[in-house]
């Protein structure tokens, strides 16, 4: 039986391209470009873009022909202490923060991501770490991947970046320059790294460590433009964006958007005052995220999230949860604890999963439901997931929550594009506020509409 073959155009047309850049890295004629929705996608000669390829089918993280997270994890972590249905392979789980000065203060959360990356460099386990840093936005992008070779360079990449980035240059560098590389990324990007490693022995030899970030979904770059509209800042004047400015005097889950302008002035606003400020509503979500079943970066050697449970979520200094899968990284973590450089407490897999409960519902229960009604609409390529289609027995209100999220995700792109092209932000902002009101009423019982719904349509215990 011939091996399945897919083209980059197939993945784009089916809404399954996440813009990781893996495919574009394999051909010098290819590159990643911004589409009209301000998402990244591959481009290149027509014969490359449209020619079906078995190699592309094996290396694209959302390809139905690619190895799934279970298979990759079983190959990389052959005999873990535990295999959890939500977190994947587990050697140990922790909650806490970096106690070594500088790391917690410079991160959105507890500073563990930067600390582990720094320790890999300091111990000589790797020569460089690929991570996301802010850049001068003259070209329209605010962030990109860079290879850092020192701790001081790593500190330039602390904090959360809800912005499209891509890995093509990281892959090209790893092929061209001998060395040992670590890569920090969201689940689908880490999966793409391992699929590339499976396809290319040189990458398998040189990309030695992966650090994963728990993920809810990827936003388009239009999210920054929405911030600018709402904070009264012309986008061309915005020089830097901070999605989660840290304030030790406020709970960690009180997100605050912060823009720095060309003249040095700043604009800030709490997310809950924004028209699209509820993360779970799905504004500017990538279409491919509808088909993801990995919350906790199951193929990464270690994965990090925020401790979204009390008392940690109220601590504005930030607290991480971490899932360690690599025995080598576990040794590094335990040594950091013994030295007093990490303030961590070992916890159960259930504890970590509870900190991301909403994400797991959306990627398990919600994915099953989306597969049952959205999956049938995909024409060229249909995703193959570890979750089976289902959801017929879900409460009606839960179904409405999932459908509302899908509608918001799709139409936010279209309305924001119209607002951008016409120079009329209200074309997006007014419908966004209405959509957020509807979503809040359905999911949380907010407002009079929510109270009325609570009386006639019982709300599930969790949104």
pLDDT band at 461 (very low <50, low <70, confident <90, very high): low
What domain count does the chain have? 1
Q: Tell me, yes or no, whether 241 lies in a domain.
A: no
Angle 426-444/222-230 helices, nearest 10 degrees? 100
**Given a cut of 80, is residue 378 above it in pLDDT?**
no
Residue 357 pLDDT class (50, 70, 90 cuts): very high
Within a domain: 169 = yes
Q: Could you count the other beta carbons within 10 Å of the beta carbon of residue 448?
A: 8
Q: Are 126 and 73 contacting, i.e. CB atoms less than 8 angstroms apart?
A: no
Residue 385 pLDDT exceeds 90: yes
Question: Tokens 């809040």 identify what position?
Answer: 440
* Residue 260 pLDDT level (bands cut at 50, 70, 90): very high
192-201, 397-406, 434-443, 452-461: least confidently modelled range? 452-461
Residue predicted with more confidence, 140 or 434:
434
CA 86 to CA 315: how far, in whole Å? 26
If DSSP codes are grouped into helix, strand and coil, which group holds residue 142?
coil
Residue 398 lies in a domain: no
Range of the domain at 326: 8-219+284-359
Residue 51 forms part of a structural domain: yes
DSSP character for 250?
A: S
Q: CB under 8 Å, gap of 24 or more: what pairs does 172-180 form?
A: 172/25, 173/147, 174/202, 174/203, 174/206, 174/207, 175/200, 175/202, 175/203, 175/206, 178/206, 179/126, 179/127, 179/128, 179/206, 180/125, 180/126, 180/127, 180/128, 180/206, 180/208, 180/209
Residue 202 lies in a domain: yes
Contact call for residues 174 and 181 (beta carbons, < 8 A): yes
Residue 463 has pLDDT above 60, yes or no: no
**Residue length of the chain:** 463
pLDDT at 1: 52
Residue 259 in any domain: the answer is no
Task: List, for residues 124-179, the tens digit of each pLDDT value.
Answer: 999 999 999 999 887 778 999 999 999 999 988 877 788 999 999 999 999 999 99
Find all residues with CB under 8 Å of 274, minimum gap 6, and list them. 226, 227, 230, 257
Token reading at 226:
């929405």
Band of residue 460 on the pLDDT scale cut at 50, 70, 90: low
* For residues 360-373, average pLDDT: 94
pLDDT at residue 245, as a whole number:
83
Sheet containing strand 266-270, edge to edge, reads 238-242, 256-261, 266-270
Cβ neighbours, 10 Å, residue 35: 16
For 215-251, what is each residue's pLDDT tens digit? 999 999 999 999 999 999 999 999 999 998 878 888 8
Q: Please report whether residue 459 resides in a domain.
A: no
Are the CB atoms for 61 and 20 separated by under 8 Å? yes
Residue 386: closest CA among 406, 401, 362, 368: 368
How confident is the model over 15-27, as a mean pLDDT?
Answer: 96
421 belongs to a structural domain: no
Model confidence band, residue 48 (pLDDT cutoffs 50, 70, 90): very high
pTM: 0.95
Q: Is the pLDDT of residue 198 over 80?
A: yes
């Amino acid at each position: 039986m011939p091996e399945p073959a897919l083209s980059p155009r197939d993945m784009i047309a089916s809404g399954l391209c996440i813009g990781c850049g893996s495919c574009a890295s394999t051909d010098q004629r290819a590159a990643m470009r911004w589409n009209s929705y301000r998402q990244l996608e591959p481009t290149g000669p027509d014969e490359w873009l449209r020619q079906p390829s078995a190699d592309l089918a094996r290396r694209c993280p959302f390809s139905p022909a690619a190895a799934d997270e279970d298979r990759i994890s079983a190959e990389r972590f052959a005999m873990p202490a535990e295999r959890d249905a939500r977190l994947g392979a587990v050697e140990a789980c922790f909650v806490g923060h970096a106690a070594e000065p500088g790391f917690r203060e410079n991160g959105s959360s507890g500073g563990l991501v930067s600390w582990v990356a720094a320790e890999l460099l300091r111990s000589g386990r790797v020569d460089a770490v690929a991570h996301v840093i802010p850049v001068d936005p003259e070209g329209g992008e605010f962030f990109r991947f860079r290879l850092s070779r020192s701790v001081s360079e790593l500190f330039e990449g602390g904090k959360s970046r809800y912005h499209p980035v891509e890995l093509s240059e990281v892959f090209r560098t790893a092929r061209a320059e001998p060395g040992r590389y670590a890569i920090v990324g969201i689940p689908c990007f880490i999966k793409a790294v391992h699929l590339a490693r499976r396809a290319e022995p040189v990458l398998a030899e040189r990309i030695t460590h992966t650090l994963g970030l728990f993920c809810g979904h990827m936003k388009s770059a239009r999210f920054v433009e929405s911030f600018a509209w709402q904070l009264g800042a012309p986008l061309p004047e915005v020089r830097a964006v901070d999605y989660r400015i840290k304030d030790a005097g406020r709970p960690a889950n009180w997100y605050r958007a912060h823009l720095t302008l060309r003249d040095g002035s700043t604009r800030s606003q709490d997310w809950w005052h924004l028209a699209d400020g509820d993360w779970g509503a799905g504004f500017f979500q990538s279409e491919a995220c509808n088909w993801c079943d990995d919350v906790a970066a199951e193929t990464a050697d270690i994965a990090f999230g925020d401790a979204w449970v009390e008392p940690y979520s109220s601590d504005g200094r930030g607290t991480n949860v971490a899932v360690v899968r690599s025995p080598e990284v576990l040794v590094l973590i335990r040594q950091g604890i013994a030295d007093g450089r990490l303030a961590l407490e070992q916890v159960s897999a259930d504890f970590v999963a509870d900190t991301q409960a909403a994400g797991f519902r959306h990627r398990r229960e919600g994915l099953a439901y989306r597969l049952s009604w959205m999956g049938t609409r995909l024409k060229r390529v249909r995703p193959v997931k570890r979750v089976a289609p289902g959801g017929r027995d879900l409460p009606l209100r839960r179904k409405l929550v999932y459908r509302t999220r899908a509608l918001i995700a799709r139409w936010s792109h279209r309305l924001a594009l119209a607002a951008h092209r016409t120079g009329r932000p209200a074309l997006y902002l007014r419908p966004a506020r209405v959509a957020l009101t509807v979503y809040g009423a359905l999911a949380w019982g907010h407002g009079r509409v929510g109270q009325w719904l609570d009386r006639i349509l019982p709300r599930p215990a969790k949104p």
